[in-house]
């Protein structure tokens, strides 16, 4: 299967998606919605990886001849030739230019690091002793502020100021509904079935309900999902640590082998 020739994650065959999601066979406790999140996460990683090889091995060169001579080591020559032709087509270049302009206009600096919004939300919820649920405005402030609680840049400063200004004028209703209504007023309506500030998985319907109001039931369901995601992350971190330990052991073994070989060669010379 020429996986690099697929324009997006949706074009992967169902068989390949099931293979990627096979982790669920060994962790049967995962709910179906968490499996969906995993597949969405894999889709994002696929897009990010294609962008990485494009930036490093395609955009770094000016001619197709140079690009073909400096292909990514992870891609076959046949697939790389296809990608070079695909990325160089006028239609795709127009789309790429529009996407780049959109990202540039929407980009905000943040201090969230590599943690997902879901993890930040879960950690913020766990840290609260009053049992309150953080709003999307709360998560924005958390991920766009420095350790001294000052906003990370001028754009974030203006947005956070608007949050606080509107919050001071709002009365009645739950803090969650007020906070998310404020977020929508400042940041605009949701689009493409996503809910900003929640990460992958949750949709406007699952979070806000048909009336666009957050119910306690929706929050309970979301918390279960976020807890599962947190556990998955912990398992992945443990796996990464084990992989790193094995890599270091292998390097140490190679080093010892090279040292033994060097000593044997010196002994033969003597």
Neighbours of 59 (CB within 10 A): 13
Residues of the chain above pLDDT 70, percent: 62
Residues 216-224 have a mean pLDDT of 51
pLDDT digits (tens, 9 = 90+) for 6-65: 556 555 556 555 555 555 554 554 556 666 666 777 777 888 888 889 999 998 999 999
C-alpha to C-alpha distance for 202 and 134, rounded to whole angstroms: 15
Least confident span in 108-117, 154-163, 213-222 = 213-222
User: Does residue 213 surpass a pLDDT of 60?
Assistant: no
Alpha helices in the chain, H assignment, sequence order: 14-20, 23-26, 32-57, 64-69, 77-88, 90-106, 117-127, 136-143, 154-169, 175-187, 204-208, 216-269
Contact 225, 33 (CB under 8 A): yes
Residues 79-104 have a mean pLDDT of 84
Structure tokens at 42: 């894999």
Alpha helices in 58-108, H assignment, sequence order: 64-69, 77-88, 90-106
C-alpha to C-alpha distance for 42 and 17, rounded to whole angstroms: 9
pTM for the model stands at 0.44
C-alpha to C-alpha distance for 232 and 38, rounded to whole angstroms: 9
């Amino acid at each position: 299967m020429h996986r690099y020739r697929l324009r997006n994650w949706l074009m992967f065959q169902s068989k390949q998606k099931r293979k990627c999601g096979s982790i669920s066979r060994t962790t049967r406790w995962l709910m179906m919605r968490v499996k969906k999140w995993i597949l969405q996460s894999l889709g994002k990683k696929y897009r990010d990886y294609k962008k990485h090889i494009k930036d490093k091995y395609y955009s770094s060169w000016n001619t197709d001849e140079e690009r073909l001579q400096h292909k990514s080591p992870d891609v076959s020559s046949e697939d790389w030739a296809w990608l070079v032709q695909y990325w160089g087509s006028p239609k795709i270049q127009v789309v790429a230019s529009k996407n780049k302009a959109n990202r540039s206009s929407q980009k905000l600096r943040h201090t969230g690091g590599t943690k997902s919004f879901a993890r930040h939300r879960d950690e913020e919820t766990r840290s609260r002793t009053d049992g309150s649920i953080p709003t999307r405005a709360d998560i924005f402030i958390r991920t766009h502020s420095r350790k001294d609680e000052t906003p990370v840049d001028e754009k974030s400063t203006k947005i956070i100021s608007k949050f606080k200004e509107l919050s001071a004028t709002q009365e009645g209703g739950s803090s969650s509904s007020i906070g998310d209504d404020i977020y929508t007023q400042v940041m605009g309506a949701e689009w493409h079935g996503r809910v900003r500030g929640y990460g992958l998985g949750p949709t406007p319907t699952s979070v806000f309900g048909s009336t666009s109001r957050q119910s306690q039931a929706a929050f309970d369901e979301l918390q279960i999902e976020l807890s599962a995601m947190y556990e998955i992350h912990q398992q992945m971190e443990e796996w990464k640590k084990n992989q790193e330990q094995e890599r270091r052991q292998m390097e140490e073994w190679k080093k010892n082998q090279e040292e033994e070989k060097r000593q044997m060669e010196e002994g033969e010379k003597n």
